[in-house]
């Protein structure tokens, strides 16, 4: 049986773990050749090795998404390595360390989580257009993009809100060339930011998890399937849109299910 992405070439930033890793694995299983870009060499090389062992096509490149020139080179490196490019998944975002100043935190997160998305997308668009099925998918978040919430900093929220505006503008600019642009807005997902699969639930996360009508953490493979939808022909007439994947958190939050005094 043919996969949904047979013969397609995909670039995934932040593909060494979490949502990016799950997406790289799913894309490869659906027939895409993927290039994973990350600063986690061990993680990226592990994912590539495991995809290849499963019969897929994958490559890894070390890329620091706080370096805009490196982001642009990443696009051309991916196209050269894969023999073209039809899908870009903007997913990476650098987390500042605890000793960063507010200005440093702001600059780092806006550069890695918004400016890098813009640089990658605008550099990739002409190459994506030549594929005949160009798709840009960008990872936003319910934080900032859908609501202001205490677990996200101002810098993170601003970057993620900006991703939605950027995605819509990219849809307008590159739609006439046949390139679609959409965004995903994950909620509380089993990634290291919240908890990794199998780990105990952190106290701070319990309240937010309980507020979601589905009452559980989302899984990275569930998010990956949404990215696949936007990247594939299943979404061939969809552009400029965003979908929250949050267990209903932003539309039907269950305040009454949480004992706020217990924290």
CA 162, 165, 167, 172 torsion: positive or negative? negative
Tokens 């605008």, residue located: 122
Which entry of 60, 100, 117, 156 is annotated as an active-site residue? 156
Instruction: Decide if 156 is catalytic.
Output: yes
What amino acid positions are annotated as catalytic residues? 156
């Amino acid at each position: 049986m043919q996969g949904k992405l047979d013969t397609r070439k995909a670039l995934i930033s932040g593909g060494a773990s979490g949502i990016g890793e799950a997406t790289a694995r799913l894309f490869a299983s659906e027939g895409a050749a993927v290039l994973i870009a990350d600063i986690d060499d061990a993680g990226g090389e592990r994912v590539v090795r495991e995809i290849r062992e499963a019969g897929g096509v994958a490559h890894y490149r070390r890329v620091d998404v706080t370096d805009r020139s490196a982001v642009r080179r990443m696009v051309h490196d991916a196209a050269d390595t894969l023999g073209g490019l039809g899908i870009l998944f903007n997913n990476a975002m650098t987390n500042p360390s605890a000793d960063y100043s507010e200005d440093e935190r702001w600059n780092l997160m806006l550069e890695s989580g918004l400016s890098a998305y813009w640089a990658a997308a605008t550099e990739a668009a002409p190459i994506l257009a030549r594929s005949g099925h160009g798709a840009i998918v960008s990872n936003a978040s319910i934080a900032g993009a859908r609501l202001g919430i205490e677990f996200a900093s101002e810098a993170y929220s601003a970057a993620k809100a900006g991703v939605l505006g950027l995605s819509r503008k990219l849809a307008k600019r590159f739609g006439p060339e046949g390139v679609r642009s959409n965004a995903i807005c994950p909620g509380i997902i089993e990634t290291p930011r919240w908890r990794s699969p199998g780990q105990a639930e952190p106290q701070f996360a319990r309240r937010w998890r309980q507020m979601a009508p589905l009452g559980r953490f989302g899984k990275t493979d569930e998010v990956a399937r949404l990215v696949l939808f936007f990247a594939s022909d299943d979404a061939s007439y969809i552009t400029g849109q965003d979908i929250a994947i949050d267990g209903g958190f932003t539309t039907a939050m269950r305040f009454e299910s949480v004992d706020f005094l217990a924290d």
